[in-house]
Amino acid sequence: MSHTTYLVTVSGPDRVGVGAELFAALAQVSTEGGQLSDVAQITIRGSLVLCAEVSVDESVSEDDLRAALAVRDIHRDGIVATVERVTPDPVQAGGRLLVTLLAQRIGADQLEEVFRAIASVQATCERIVHLASYPVDCYELVVRGNDHVALREALTVVAQASGVDLAVQRAGLHRRAKHLVVMDADSTLLQDEVIDLLAVEAQCAGEVAKITERAMAGELDFAESLRRRVALLAGLDASVLDRVREKLRLTPGARTLLRTLHRLGYVPAVVSGGFVEVLAPLLVELHVDYLEANRLEIVDGIITGRLAGPIVDRAGKARALERFAAEVGVPLAQTVAVGDGANDIDMISVAGLGIAFNAKPVVREHADAALSVPYLDAVLYFLGISREEIETE
């Protein structure tokens, strides 16, 4: 049996019932063996475009389709329906990637450059969704192309030049599966650096800052720099830990991020080079059950200036992420790591999606995505979660 393919396009002011009318008309002219091949719809500010591709017996003509639409009175209230005979699309080569663009404001000029980059590697955009318009602008594009490496490179160049944050991920249902989301604490979940607040209590902020500078310059590794900084805390009464905790400031959007992750069934975790004694009580309040961090040695209520147990360094963070994933029961492909410092590079590299949050260039180079906005809940957009979903209670 031979078939003919038609594209039916309905456009105009959106109104209740127009979809039902269209599909009733298509059902009327369909015969045995006919099928609905594809459907797409978009509505912007009450203006509708609804397209349906239908394959029907060759005895069904364009006039038959138009007559069926007229019977359903689909043309009223400003709605226009057109019928066009088309050649069925061949099976397209190449896989789909999800491209997420995020900035304080995304304009037509930035989107032009993005789409030129997509075209430059012979890729095409199949769908665009506006995930958020505040407090940041965020678009998600479904892009199909053969050369994913070239597409990533082209988009990265454009994103850096235009000041847009970018994530490029494989498409698939895995994005809505259970995820483990692991965050660094200092300067990621928190606005503060815990060791700096402790140093203020110990009146050694200057000395701690100098050690930190040497570590950042590559003169000391993290483990050695941490030991030296903790040594300066010797003699502090452990009660300062409570005072420091009270001073901690969550990053804007942190509570929204955690609340949304919990509601959607995702699992949040914190892996930090900071200290369990400060972080654990805070995370209990935030309902975060998974924590890996360093431990201060405390004897008779006094901080000794030594660490208890192995140091959670760059490699230790990656191992913690892997262990948490095994405990939660999700593959590494469904893990997300968020951090800002060189100490986070290994876990960002191991995770299925590594996000550099207001990070230094060396961290961004190892990440799949980067955020330069100050809102931690922007991480949710890279999981395909819209602002509307975030605000749904």
The structure tokens listed for 149 are 């490496």
The b-or-e profile of 227-250 (16+ CB within 10 A means b, else e) is ebbbebbeebeeebbeebbeebeb
Q: How many domains does the chain have?
A: 3
Higher pLDDT, 93 or 127: 127
pLDDT in tens, 264-310: 999 999 999 999 999 999 999 999 999 999 999 999 999 999 999 89
Quick one: DSSP state of residue 221?
-
Question: Residue 270: how many CB atoms within 10 A of its CB?
Answer: 26
Q: What is the mean pLDDT of residues 67-84?
A: 90
For the chain, how many helices (H) and strands (E)?
14, 16
Among residues 137, 186, 313, 340, which one is catalytic? Answer: 186
Q: Work out the angle at residue 320's Cα, subtended by the Cα atoms of residues 317 and 326, and round it to the nearest 5 degrees.
A: 150
Among residues 14, 137, 184, 313, which one is catalytic? Answer: 184
137 catalytic per annotation: no
User: Would you place residue 91 in the very low, low, confident or very high pLDDT band (cuts 50, 70, 90)?
Assistant: very low
What is residue 302's predicted lDDT score, i.e. its pLDDT?
97
Quick one: DSSP state of residue 175?
G
346 catalytic per annotation: no
Identify whether 220 is part of a domain.
no
Are residues 17 and 146 both part of a single domain? no
Q: What is the mean pLDDT of residues 127-132?
A: 92
Q: Work out the angle at residue 187's Cα, subtended by the Cα atoms of residues 184 and 189, and round it to the nearest 5 degrees.
A: 55
Are residues 193 and 342 both part of a single domain? yes
Are residues 106 and 12 both part of a single domain? no
pLDDT in tens, 28-46: 887 655 688 888 888 888 9
Range among 15-29, 35-49, 247-261 rated most confident: 247-261
Are residues 247 and 143 both part of a single domain? no
Are residues 81 and 184 both part of a single domain? no
Mean pLDDT in the chain? 91
Which has the closest alpha carbon to 257: 246, 270, 248, 247? 270
| CA 110 vs CA 95, 105, 245, 383: distances in Å | 24, 10, 42, 22
Range of the domain at 58: 3-86
Q: Is 274 helix (H, G, I), strand (E, B) or coil?
A: strand
Are residues 302 and 252 both part of a single domain? yes
* Strands 3-13 and 80-86, bridge-based pairing: antiparallel
pTM value is 0.82
